[in-house]
Amino acid sequence: MSIFQSSAFEGHEALHAFHDEASGLDCVIAIHSTALGPAGGGVRYWTYPDDQAAIDDALRLSRAMSHKNAMAGLELGGGKAVILGGPGKPKTPALFEALGRAVESLGGRYWGAEDVGVTPADLAHARKATRFMAGLEGHPAASGDPSPVTAEGVRRGIELCVRRALGRPLSEVTVAIQGAGHVGGLLAQKLAADGSRLILCDADEARAAEVAARTGAAVVAPDLIFDADCDVFAPCALGGAVSAATLPRIKAKVVAGGANNQLADAAAGQALFDHGLLYAPDFVINAGGIINVAAEIRALERGEAYQPAWVEAKLGQMIATLGDVLDRSQAERRPTNEIAVEMARQRIAAGRRP
């Protein structure tokens, strides 16, 4: 099968591969859509089993970013950069400067930001070679680490879903958080402040213990998080958490978290609906980070300072959009993920019209 016939490539405008021998950079940048604006999406540094796995991940994530940006009402399309990490490929300033040159060669069709395995400090090195990097620090337009805004958006989304599905406040629910990284750890802190009871896991035991010490959460082994006695299951690690294998083990009535591509496939969304679980589509509920990044891009393009009020307004719109998705799902008797994808595609198609 050619790359153009693969289901992962479907709908994409472009796929770029970059190699820099001096720094060791091997990078893939996928651009799904620029209908609504330049493609915006994070830079991920990860170890993949092979090149094809990295390409497929970039393609899936860039499509998700198109949907996310459209549903968040942003003037951005969808894209994703994936740096192939692993033994002999350490993160270095030279590696990220090479990334910056790769991004610059796309002429503004793609804006990068922080994602898994990458920090604002890493992207500061990329910024030396291109202006098309956001989520940075140290200038008037800077938005900084987007993780806190992502976590706040997820918290608000969980609150809405709990109210809809259970008729209870956050102080009366138990939330199982899969992943205690940047977003998961901050989400745990916010929910603990709301009075929620927490169960969490992380592949890094020390990190899980540190977040638990701050939040009073119970810690379980990563595989046991699916069996947790909880009201809300919040995937905040890598994708594919909800599948035919894990769904029968989930005791929660609400699935809502910060991870991208939480469903292993569309069938998992239908199964969630059929089993009576309320699912907050990931690319709707976790858009806080890209909203924050969009505020920086907007400020840079206008020569203005970062505006927290603009971000707050967009977060409010994001939760209203989630409410619309939940309303339509109930009225039309269709899964929320199906509704949300349909809405996103309609917005993208409208952007392509003359």
Q: For the segment 268-307, what is each residue's pLDDT rounded down to a tens digit?
A: 999 999 999 999 999 999 999 999 999 999 999 999 999 9
Answer whether residue 1 shows pLDDT above 70.
no
> Which of these, 143, 235, 250, 126, lies nearest to 181 by C-alpha position?
235
Are the CB atoms for 84 and 27 separated by under 8 Å?
yes
> What pLDDT is recorded for position 96?
98
pLDDT (0 to 100) of residue 299:
95
pLDDT > 90 fraction of the chain, expressed in percent and rounded: 88
68, 80, 190, 314: which is the annotated catalytic residue?
80
Average pLDDT, integer, range 194-199 = 98
**Residue 253 annotated as catalytic:** no
* The two structure tokens encoding residue 134: 């956001």
Give residue 2's pLDDT band: very low, low, confident or very high (50, 70, 90): low
pLDDT in the model for residue 27: 97
| pLDDT tens readout for residues 101-123 | 999 999 999 999 988 899 889 99
Place of tokens 């998700």: 64
What local confidence, expressed as pLDDT, does residue 353 receive? 56
Please state whether the predicted TM-score (pTM) of the whole model is above 0.85.
yes
How far is the C-alpha of 270 from the C-alpha of 125, rounded, in Å?
43
Strand order of the sheet with strand 110-114? 14-20, 25-33, 77-84, 39-46, 110-114
pLDDT over threshold 70, residue 217? yes
Rounded CA-CA distance 146/152 in Å is: 10
pLDDT band at 9, cuts 50/70/90?
A: confident
pLDDT at 91: 95
